[in-house]
Amino acid sequence: MVAIMFATWGVVFLDRMSLLYLAPYIAPDLHLDAAHIGMLAGVVAVTWAVSALVFGAISDRVGRKVVLVPMVVLFSVISAASAFAHGFGQLLLLRALLGVAEGPCWSVMMALVEENSAPEHRGRNIGVVVSAAAIIGLAIAPVLTTQVAAHEGWRDAFLVAAVPGLVLALLIGLFVREGRARQSRRTQRARVADIVRLLNSRNLWASAVGAAGFMTWLFLVNAFGPLYITEVQHQSGTTAGFLMGAAGLGSFVLGLIAPALSDRVGRRPMLAASAVLSAILPVILFVSPLYGSLWVLAAILLCTQAGQAISAICIVLVPTESVPKNLAATAIGFTTLCGEIIGGFLAPLVAGTLAVRHGLGAPLWMAVGGAIVVLLAALAMRGSAVTVSGPGLESPAR
């Protein structure tokens, strides 16, 4: 299950992030500016956020696979359809539909892994699955899509990115079991009192704030980082893909290590450390002399990209360990909703406007601010960790 979920989540992120890496190729063809790119990133965030919460709550009641499999097929088809867009309006509509299909994959998949993991290995398993976004969506995707775009065109790059999802939908249907929590979800309804307790959770709200900061950092770095590298630092599109790919590889490594360590040392310390590292990454892109030694720059980016560690701890582990088990996907959906609306939708819109007026460096400074917000959210969480041993609300700190 973990292996299939790993591959699926990686493909979800591949399809979501492909447009950002292809922006240097798409923008001249469709006459897009930085504001348009911000809007395309933002509309996915809005529809993703609402869909993650709505379908996450539905999966708490009816089961995971009945929601997950159709959505994997749908986002693959929509991603392929992006290859046939001939204007900003068409691409905007397709990206909105992509968010509707991909949002439930996040909340449902994370809840499925969380509820089927032994308590002492929950952080490790979540970290493995979430890290797929880094190795596939942030490391392989920028290299793959920019290479295909450079040789065959950006439309073919969308078609290539869509194929794996269809294969994985079949594998999920055949080999992933619903899990041991299925019966409890269908027999235990979420009472009003449970919802009230969920909304009274200090850790849940801290996670929501942290998610907003994290997604601000994530999408601004990946939406405007390639444009900054190509237009301000005057590097090629393939160089931008190489550097962003190196950062994605680092996110994969840290995404494996930090959540697993959090099983032992606590969620909060690892979240805070990940936030500090991530704040360094956008600043490094401003250092022009480093572009003369691309391998050194790539190594620094590799060591400072802790985004997937933040995602695993802040959006999945802390929320699910702070609410009743029958509300696990709802908690993930709620945290995701807050993060996507603020960090995934509003931040790219603001950043796009600032980039037009003040240059492409402005969004990267906003990304630094987003990482600092994650640090503050980690410091606000209750205790040094949320324990992994109990199903109750606000598990005691270790």
- Residues in the chain, pLDDT under 70: 138, 179-197, 383-398
Q: How many domains does the chain have?
A: 1
**What pLDDT was estimated at residue 186?**
47
Q: What's the one-letter identity of residue 366? A: M
DSSP states of 242-295: HHHHHHHHHHHHHHHHHHHHHHHH-HHHHHHHHHHHHHHHHHHTT-GGGGGSHH
Residue 396 lies in a domain: no
Closest CA to 333 of 188, 153, 204, 226: 204
For the entire predicted model, the pTM comes to 0.75
Stated as kind and residue range, the H or E segment containing 367 is: helix 361-380
- Between CA 154 and CA 395 the distance in angstroms is 48
Residue 391 lies in a domain: no
Residue 97 lies in a domain: yes
Residue 392 lies in a domain: no
**What pLDDT was estimated at residue 271?**
95
Cβ atoms 128, 256 nearer than 8 A = yes
**What pLDDT was estimated at residue 193?**
62
Residue 29 lies in a domain: yes
Cβ atoms 351, 342 nearer than 8 A = no
Closest CA to 306 of 395, 183, 210: 210
Closest CA to 172 of 273, 65, 96, 263: 65
The tokens describing 319, both together, are 């929320």
**What pLDDT was estimated at residue 142?**
77
198: containing domain: 2-175+192-380
Residue 345 lies in a domain: yes
The tokens describing 76, both together, are 């693959």
**What pLDDT was estimated at residue 195?**
66
DSSP states of 22-37: HHHHHHHHHT--HHHH
Here the CATH number for the domain that contains residue 101 is 1.20.1250.20
Going 367 to 270 to 319 to 305, the CA torsion angle's sign is positive
Q: Which residues contact 375 (CB under 8 A, 6 or more apart)?
A: 272, 275, 276, 279
Cβ atoms 116, 128 nearer than 8 A = no
**What pLDDT was estimated at residue 93?**
94
**What pLDDT was estimated at residue 62?**
81
Cβ atoms 21, 226 nearer than 8 A = yes
370-391 confidence digits (pLDDT tens): 999 999 999 998 853 444 433 3
Residue 15 lies in a domain: yes
Cβ atoms 332, 56 nearer than 8 A = yes
259-304 confidence digits (pLDDT tens): 889 888 888 999 999 999 999 999 999 988 888 888 999 999 999 9
- Between CA 33 and CA 54 the distance in angstroms is 33
Residue 333 lies in a domain: yes
CA atoms within 13 A on the CB side of 350: 15
- Alpha carbon 390 to its chain centroid, in Å, reads 27
